[in-house]
A and B are shown apart, each in its own frame.
Chain A
Amino acid sequence: DAMVIQNPRYQVTQFGKPVTLSCSQTLNHNVMYWYQQKSSQAPKLLFHYYDKDFNNEADTPDNFQSRRPNTSFCFLDIRSPGLGDAAMYLCATSRGSQGFGETQYFGPGTRLLVL
């Protein structure tokens, strides 16, 4: 029944040690998003894919990268995590057929802790 799956749910990494977060979907949606959400703040869009087309937000640090090897999977790579990158990372999908007004379907999130 799960539609957007994120692994792991909790991730602990060390300062500067690369980490990869994973997202998969069973909805066959064209668009996949990665958000960063810090405590008491709004989810902040980092980037999104429309199929294989990558769309980076202007203020997303270079430290954050993403890969989408196929329709179902999308990865968030943090090359050198800093203490300020500790947050909840949310993956979401949308159909991509309308463009405007589309519902996004969210995964449960991965909480990243940087030591």
Chain B
Amino acid sequence: AQSVSQHNHHVILSEAASLELGCNYSYGGTVNLFWYVQYPGQHLQLLLKYFSGDPLVKGIKGFEAEFIKSKFSFNLRKPSVQWSDTAEYFCAGGGYQKVTFGTGTKLQVIP
């Protein structure tokens, strides 16, 4: 069965700190991986996605994620976070027309 797990439920960082949020997946078919973000009071929106090709994927607002097949991981990174990155981050893995979401990581950035 397809599953996605996120290890960190709540992360607190100071501005300018580096960020890495973990995501592991288990899926036997074609791997499509996503990171979605939900800013306070806003709807879920796509941050970045991996479908094929270069395993290092760059998204909006300076975020990137690396697909490591051997580790079944798709961790999200940002070298220097800002207060405006405070949000909830969801990793998701997709099959045909559907995705399975992780439980989310709430990131709080302290000015």
Contact = CB atoms under 8 A, between A and B. Distances in A.
Interface of A: 4, 31, 33, 35, 40-45, 48, 50, 55, 90, 92, 94, 96, 99-109
B46 A103 contact: yes
Contacts of A102: 94, 97
Interface in B22-49: 30, 32, 34, 36, 42-46, 49
B44 to A, nearest CB: 4
B82 to A, nearest CB: 23
A6 to B, nearest CB: 9
12 contacts: A35-B101, A42-B103, A42-B104, A45-B100, A48-B98, A99-B97, A100-B32, A100-B51, A101-B32, A103-B34, A103-B46, A106-B36
Contact of B101 (A40, A42, A48): A42
A31 B95 CA distance: 14
Contacts of A4: 43
A88 to B, nearest CB: 11
A94 B95 CA distance: 13
Contact of A41 (B36, B99, B103): B103
A31 B97 contact: yes
Contacts of A92: 44
Contacts of B45: 105-106
B95 A100 contact: yes
B103 A40 contact: yes
Nearest to A33: B98
Contact of A100 (B9, B42, B96): B96
Given A35-B101, A45-B98, A101-B94, 12 more contacts: A4-B43, A42-B100, A42-B101, A42-B102, A44-B101, A48-B98, A94-B97, A100-B51, A102-B94, A103-B46, A106-B43, A109-B43
B90 interface: yes
Nearest to B102: A42
Contacts of A41: 103
Given A42-B104, A90-B44, A104 B99 contact: yes
